[in-house]
A and B are shown apart, each in its own frame.
Chain A
Amino acid sequence: MRALPGLRALPLLLLGLLAAGRAGRADGETSVSPFTSLPIREETTTKHFNSSLETPNISLTVRSSVPVEKNITLERPSNIELTCQFITSGNVNSVNVTWKKGNKQLENIHTNATGSILYTQYMFIITDSKQMGSYSCFLEEEKEQRGTFNFKVPEVQGKNKPLITYVGDSVVLICKCQHCSSLNWTWYSNNGSAQVPIDVQMNDKYEIKGTNANETRLKITHLSEDNKGSYWCRAAFPLGESEQRVELVVLSYLVPLKPFLGIAAEVVIVVAVILLYETHTQKKKKLTDDGKEFEQIEQLKSDDSNGIENNAPRHRKNESVSQ
């Protein structure tokens, strides 16, 4: 991708903004910030484990006392192997390494050291949603070093903006999930504050279609104003659930009709003004034309009378000459 040399100003500014945004999302070490004591979250990892035959090996490198986190999305039960790599400053043998999930200390840890680098490993199997959550490895030294692994189910994407429709129309609400394999989807509508599941069999107003496992479509026909509000799509994974909200707005046809009629009235007024102005100026012109004609007739009349008057002096002049 080549940028123009002569036009570096605008694209470069935008590129700079993009780069700044990306720097905060790098997969790896985060920058040291002495003012924050909270862990600086890393970007969601690209690890999506689809096959349970695979034994994912997830590792973290912890440097100094900045806590590091990693987010992992997991769909189905699998064998997990977590590895923390600590860089110690001093004596390797006098350090204490622990793994915890919440407050509970974990067993089945393997640790070995090479020079000043300490490797610690925790292996386990995730079978249901109770085993999802955060797993942390700790290194006890003068300052505690920590790395955290967060296990989550994949997220579902809906639409950020509300969908605007009209009474009598039909609409399709779509929920998508990337990097997912076949799921069970359910849709819920909003009834006051509670979520009410949508029953497709009850009436043919609602229809749930899904072309492939990655997305689900809820088609609502014959919309009315009661149908407006929030709708939730929920994806059920073996290891948990995730849901997303889609907002629906149903307008009556009168809503845009009012500005339309206002503008149409304005156009009629403008046209009337233009045509009236024209007839007015034409009348004025006709009056002045009539006035000019009247003046011309007067002028001719006065010319005639002037001619008669002029004859007299001419005759008199001739008489005076002839005499």
Chain B
Amino acid sequence: MAHRAEPPDGGWGWMVVLSAFFQSALVFGVLRSFGVFFVELVAAFEEQAARVSWIASIGIAVQQFGSECRAGPEACHPPSEGKGAAGTRERTGRGWGDPGGGRRRASRTASSSFSGPVGSALSTKYGPRPVVMAGGILAASGMLLASLATTLTHLYLSIGLLSGSGWALTFTPTLACLSRYFSRRRSLATGLALTGVGLSSFAFAPLFQWLVSLYAWRGALLLVSALSLHLVACGALLRPLSLMEDPVVGGPGAQLTSLLHHGPFLRYTVALTLINTGYFIPYIHLIAHLQDLDWDPLSAAFLVSVVAISDLVGRVASGWLGDAVPGPVARLLMLWTTLTGVSLALLPVAHTPTALMALAVAYGFTSGALTPVAFSVLPELVGTGRIYCGLGLVQMVESIGGLLGAPLSGYLRDVTGNYTASFVVAGSFLLAGSGILMTLPHFCSLASTSKPQDRIREAVETKVSLSKEEPEED
């Protein structure tokens, strides 16, 4: 097959956007609506602990979705917002009371983060299509086995491990594939693809409630498994694309090594980890913070919905802007990250409802704006040839940041008694991340994004320098 010099920027690329849209809907929509099931499962398996688990599980559901908040605010707050608000008020500390929920979250996060590089390596070798299709089958079979579960351990293994790995195998390669298909309109395509999360969250929660009322949790999980099978169909849409840089950068092992020696890539990873640490905390703590200020649950839920809508608008707007504005996309990422950090840090200062509302909308818009741009910086840095491995590595490292961020902010809350410190610390993490972004190459130049020839040259140079180092190590 002939290698293309430039990404197509359209054509079949729009089908890839469609595939990514449905995948983000299926992965994050299901994750977010899982609170519906969790409540039913606790009732089915641990009847003695009725009240305590009920309260803790709503809190846990909020915590669980924290690790998926990166994909959107809708992944963060549970469907029963009114109940969720009341639940978080009653929970002591941070709701880690139910060890089962904590274990589930940890197992899902772990399987997601470690499958990242595996999926990336496989995608580099075989192309994204078989990997995503296999991921879809894994996710669906995890749900299928969960519907047959007789103990909670079965659930941890089937949903946490199996489905978690399946989801991780689908989303990362798809976003990487999207980056390969687009160069001029990359940010817009990414932004459009990520809106799938927001739209699915409005549809899936009531759908799941309805399924549970008809078929109880077993039948509903079975049908969610059938729904997840559509990930396989989405994977089929990912037509492989061969670009000119692919033969140069070599197989997955060589790519990983070259990436780990790539200075800008490492700095970018650190920056993204810092951003991730601060990014998703506020979505969980916003509801609790509003309760501390004595807001009634209805207004709080309304505010969160407004933030979710501004997040959605921010994604698409930033996607379009990222392509329209010349120059490296890293500058836009720095802009949005700084604005997010500032709005976060100012949030505890606001006490009047109008100011809080305005800041929350600003935070929603800017945090949504930084998501598509964050994914667009990577192909500019490492080239579309190494995008699979690069994205996998980045996601693995930044999820560590995500795991650490939640306990840290909870600890701050417990120590200081309110959320001021945790918001300020989250904002400072974001500002630190944006500071590191300034050290990326071509940041201050007015030149347009690097051309494929530059990236190939760079890749060849890296490969040559690595091969020169090897004899010396012997």
Contact (Cβ within 8 A) B48 A211? yes
Q: Does B214 contact A (CB under 8 A)?
A: yes
| Chain B interface main SS type | helix
Contact (Cβ within 8 A) B296 A166? no
Q: Does A115 contact B (CB under 8 A)?
A: no
Q: Which chain B residues lie closer than 8 Å to A183 at the CB level? A: none
Q: Which chain B residues lie closer than 8 Å to A11 at the CB level? A: 296, 298-299, 302
Stretch from A34-42, A47-55, A94-102, A260-268 that touches the partner:
A260-268
Report how far A267 CA is from B136 CA in the complex, Å: 11
Contact (Cβ within 8 A) B218 A259? no
How many B residues have CB within 8 A of the partner chain?
33
Closest to A164 in B: B216
Q: Does B222 contact A (CB under 8 A)?
A: yes
Contact (Cβ within 8 A) A14 B223? no
Q: Does A161 contact B (CB under 8 A)?
A: yes
Q: Does B213 contact A (CB under 8 A)?
A: yes
Q: Which chain A residues lie closer than 8 Å to B236 at the CB level? A: 270-271, 274-275
Q: Does B232 contact A (CB under 8 A)?
A: yes
Q: Does B226 contact A (CB under 8 A)?
A: yes
Contact (Cβ within 8 A) A260 B353? no
Which parts of A130-183 form the interface with B (CB within 8 Å)?
161, 164-166, 169, 172
Report how far A14 CA is from B226 CA in the complex, Å: 38
Report how far A7 CA is from B296 CA in the complex, Å: 12
Report how far A274 CA is from B15 CA in the complex, Å: 11
Contact (Cβ within 8 A) B298 A271? no
Q: Does A20 contact B (CB under 8 A)?
A: no
Q: Which chain B residues lie closer than 8 Å to A313 at the CB level? A: none
Contact (Cβ within 8 A) B353 A6? yes
Q: Does B442 contact A (CB under 8 A)?
A: no
Which parts of B369-410 form the interface with A (CB within 8 Å)?
none
Q: Which chain A residues lie closer than 8 Å to B58 at the CB level? A: none
Report how far A4 CA is from B227 CA in the complex, Å: 39
Contact (Cβ within 8 A) B213 A274? no
Q: Does A278 contact B (CB under 8 A)?
A: yes
Instruction: Give chain A's interface residue range (CB within 8 Å of chain B).
Output: 20 to 34
Q: Which chain A residues lie closer than 8 Å to B219 at the CB level? A: 164, 166, 251, 255-256
Q: Does B31 contact A (CB under 8 A)?
A: no
* Chain B 446-472 interface mask (CB, 8 Å, partner A; 1/0): 000000000000000000000000000
Which residue of B213, B226, B294, B357 contacts A263 across the interface (Cβ within 8 Å)? B226
Given known A-B contacts A164-B216, A256-B218, A263-B227, A3 and B233 have beta carbons under 8 A apart: no
Contact (Cβ within 8 A) B215 A251? yes
Report how far A278 CA is from B219 CA in the complex, Å: 35
Q: Which chain B residues lie closer than 8 Å to A90 at the CB level? A: none
Q: Does A217 contact B (CB under 8 A)?
A: yes
Q: Which chain B residues lie closer than 8 Å to A23 at the CB level? A: none
Q: Does B230 contact A (CB under 8 A)?
A: yes
Contact (Cβ within 8 A) A165 B216? yes
Q: Which chain B residues lie closer than 8 Å to A2 at the CB level? A: 293-296, 299, 353
Q: Does A308 contact B (CB under 8 A)?
A: no
Contact (Cβ within 8 A) B294 A1? yes
CB distance from A194 to the nearest CB of B (A): 28
Report how far A275 CA is from B47 CA in the complex, Å: 48
Q: Does B340 contact A (CB under 8 A)?
A: no
Contact (Cβ within 8 A) B230 A267? yes
Q: Does B267 contact A (CB under 8 A)?
A: no
Contact (Cβ within 8 A) A3 B222? no
Closest to B213 in A: A161
CB distance from A237 to the nearest CB of B (A): 25
Report how far A271 CA is from B214 CA in the complex, Å: 29
Report how far A256 CA is from B211 CA in the complex, Å: 10
Report how far A166 CA is from B357 CA in the complex, Å: 47
Q: Does B274 contact A (CB under 8 A)?
A: no
Report how far A3 CA is from B222 CA in the complex, Å: 42
* Chain A 273-298 interface mask (CB, 8 Å, partner B; 1/0): 01100100000000000000000000
Closest to A217 in B: B47
Given known A-B contacts A166-B218, A217-B47, A278-B239, A271 and B232 have beta carbons under 8 A apart: yes
Q: Which chain A residues lie closer than 8 Å to B353 at the CB level? A: 2, 4-6
Q: Which chain A residues lie closer than 8 Å to B56 at the CB level? A: none
Q: Does B354 contact A (CB under 8 A)?
A: yes
Q: Does B310 contact A (CB under 8 A)?
A: no
Which parts of B87-124 form the interface with A (CB within 8 Å)?
none
Q: Does A312 contact B (CB under 8 A)?
A: no
Contact (Cβ within 8 A) A259 B229? no
Contact (Cβ within 8 A) B299 A6? no
CB distance from B356 to the nearest CB of A (A): 9
Report how far A1 CA is from B227 CA in the complex, Å: 41
Q: Which chain B residues lie closer than 8 Å to A161 at the CB level? A: 213
CB distance from A277 to the nearest CB of B (A): 10
Contact (Cβ within 8 A) B294 A267? no
Report how far A3 CA is from B40 CA in the complex, Å: 32
Report how far A267 CA is from B222 CA in the complex, Å: 15
Q: Does A321 contact B (CB under 8 A)?
A: no
Q: Does A10 contact B (CB under 8 A)?
A: yes
Closest to A274 in B: B236
Contact (Cβ within 8 A) A3 B226? no
Q: Does A257 contact B (CB under 8 A)?
A: yes
Report how far A2 CA is from B226 CA in the complex, Å: 44
Q: Does B225 contact A (CB under 8 A)?
A: yes
